[in-house]
Amino acid sequence: MARWEPNAAERLTEAAMALFEERGYAKTTVGDIATRAGLTERTFFNHFSDKREVLFAGSEQFVGTIVEAARAAPKAEAPLDVVIAAYASTSDFFEERRPFARRRSALIAAHPELQERELVKMMSVAAALTEVLVQRGASAATATLAAQTGGAILRVGFEQWTRDAKDRSLAFHLRAARRQLEGIVRGRPAGSRRSSTS
Amino acid sequence: MARWEPNAAERLTEAAMALFEERGYAKTTVGDIATRAGLTERTFFNHFSDKREVLFAGSEQFVGTIVEAARAAPKAEAPLDVVIAAYASTSDFFEERRPFARRRSALIAAHPELQERELVKMMSVAAALTEVLVQRGASAATATLAAQTGGAILRVGFEQWTRDAKDRSLAFHLRAARRQLEGIVRGRPAGSRRSSTS
DNA sequence: TCTCCTGATTACAGTAACTGTAATGGAGTT
DNA sequence: AACTCCATTACAGTTACTGTAATCAGGAGA
């Protein structure tokens, strides 16, 4: 028998999410979270580098998955398609935990402090993808632009995914956003807006 | 004669930048900054809501300028062009303070804590632009995608601008990035378009 | 069984970021 | 001269985070 209850980090995350939902991020102290998980404040900081990280723990491994998918893409694939395929590789992962992802996503949307952290994480993924693209032979400028644009597509696609009443996959929404982007870059929105007067 | 030395906020910003450059962000306390500016810690927090904001003070007015430029764009202009024109409207502003902007930009690049804040600011601009695009008749999806993609272009263009040995304008680099994006979205190989932006 | 070692947890003390509130005191006004 | 204004300050308090040493159940080896 284990000396302590197992899954301390997981318990802390669950406690944190529950408290953030009840009282909000600012009104929840790290001590509150730890107590709710049956631990002490110091133990919280042994598991997470700071209060925000409690919602971003799995992200390192996540970056790894995405980078791996990018590396595995066919040599001939164009940069933007590599990036989108890489993000799409996480689709199944999200599919399995749609409720959790939605809950988490709502918390982040409601708290600027958490948005800050999420944006940095996304940018670090974009940076990693940029490097992969360069290794695949793209110019630095092309790689950066493709990775950054892919990030834009992901933000839009992910938002659609969380809102989608039909529960279509993230990969689906990424493809949709990518297609729409083609029209936008050419100056013709996908909806082919007919605002001849207004 | 004024009771206190004028421009307290400005002095605090200058002191902060100098100290961040000397010791780094983490090793600089708010007390240090205030003392260097001839003020107290409490006064610092009267001027800035938190330690990071000392480098992001002018940003509200900045958003205003950008939004205004977006509203002023010709009715027929396509969404992405509206966004880029809006960002390009800040070109002169940056041109006048290129040294300051570079210095600030280097600090942000060197400190993740500051990157967090900058990303949120950029996203708030993107959100504001999204709203403007919707008011101009774009669909919600098109508006979001155009604003987000514009953000990607800005990041890339701005980076080129800070690195540019030839001191070409931000507007120039935005146009270059936009042109390059067209090729990327179509899946063309990197070198197909002459890009003199590095 | 006894002992040593491991490692997650904890106790405790300390720094620094912020907040709320009330007081200060020179400058402009009456 | 009395009076108001308000940027600044003093002071006390909370909370995020850090460094360090102590605890102590269980596994490994003797």
Examine the pLDDT at A197 and tell me if it is beyond 60: no
Q: Within 7 Å: CB of A51 and strand D?
A: yes
Which distant-in-sequence residues (6+ apart) come within 8 Å of B83 by Cβ?
Answer: B70, B129, B133, B146, B147, B149, B150, B153
pTM above 0.75, yes or no: yes
Q: Does B90 lie at the interface with A, CB-CB under 8 angstroms?
A: no
Angle at the Cα of A95 (from B124 to A147), degrees rounded to 5? Answer: 45
| Mean confidence (pLDDT) of chain B | 93
With bands split at pLDDT 50, 70 and 90, how would you rate the model's confidence at B188? low
With bands split at pLDDT 50, 70 and 90, how would you rate the model's confidence at A159? very high
Burial A68-86 (b: 16+ CB within 10 A, else e): ebbeebeeeebbbbbbbbb
With bands split at pLDDT 50, 70 and 90, how would you rate the model's confidence at B1? low
DSSP code of residue A189: -
B95-151 pLDDT per residue, tens: 998 999 999 999 999 999 999 999 999 999 999 999 999 999 999 999 999 999 999
Q: Does B157 lie at the interface with A, CB-CB under 8 angstroms?
A: no
Closest Cα in chain B to A140: B198
Q: Does B188 lie at the interface with A, CB-CB under 8 angstroms?
A: yes
With bands split at pLDDT 50, 70 and 90, how would you rate the model's confidence at B196? very low
Q: Which residue has the tokens 């790689």?
A: A143
- Secondary structure of chain B: what % helix, strand, coil (to 5)? 75, 0, 25
Contact B137 A181 (CB under 8 A): no
Phi and psi at A97, nearest 5°, equal: -130, 45
Contact A141 B80 (CB under 8 A): no
Among A54, A138, A143, A81, residue whose Cα is nearest residue B187: A81
Among A167, A169, A174, A134, residue whose Cα is nearest residue A151: A174
Taking phi first (over 0 means left), then psi (-120 to 50 degrees means alpha), and beta for anything else, what does residue B137 get? left
